[in-house]
Amino acid sequence: MDPLKKDLTDPQMMRVFKVFERLRLMDREMPAQLVSALFYIASHNPCHKQALEDELGLAVSSASRLTDWLSPNHRLKKPGLGLIEKYDDPANRRRTLLKLTPKGVSLVKQLKEDLYGDSNQDLGTGT
């Protein structure tokens, strides 16, 4: 067998691969936890940070680190990805709400197009 065989055998998995490659363009070493956090926020937009922690089984510090990375201001004094914004919940200022930014909404739309092909298809995602 030719070691450079590149025949596509599973088009659906190729779509998933394209999604991950699009994400890796933003940060070549993006950890799986960061991807999970982004996908959770995108599927519950907006959501409480505590809900993210509960659903993903994250410590408060881990969720803070991940949401800082996804926001415009990374905690390591470098730019974050700018995909979400964090703000106080007006109903309970002790809680933080997480919401996709326009850049985040655009990325999610591109990811859906990579997965499903049709940008006008809703598929029950609320967008």
pLDDT by residue (tens digit) across 45-70?
A: 999 999 999 999 999 999 999 999 99
What's the confidence (pLDDT) of residue 125?
43
The CATH code of the domain at 31-116 is 1.10.10.10
Quickly count: other Cβ atoms within 10 Å of residue 17's Cβ: 12
List the beta bridge partners of residue 32.
none
Average confidence score pLDDT of the chain = 90
Query: What is the rounded average pLDDT of the residues 23-49?
Result: 95
Quickly count: other Cβ atoms within 10 Å of residue 52's Cβ: 20
Q: pTM surpassing 0.95?
A: no
At residue 6, what is the residue type?
K
pLDDT digits (tens, 9 = 90+) for 67-122: 999 999 887 778 899 999 999 999 999 999 999 999 999 999 999 999 998 655 44
Torsions phi, psi of 101, nearest 5?
-80, 170
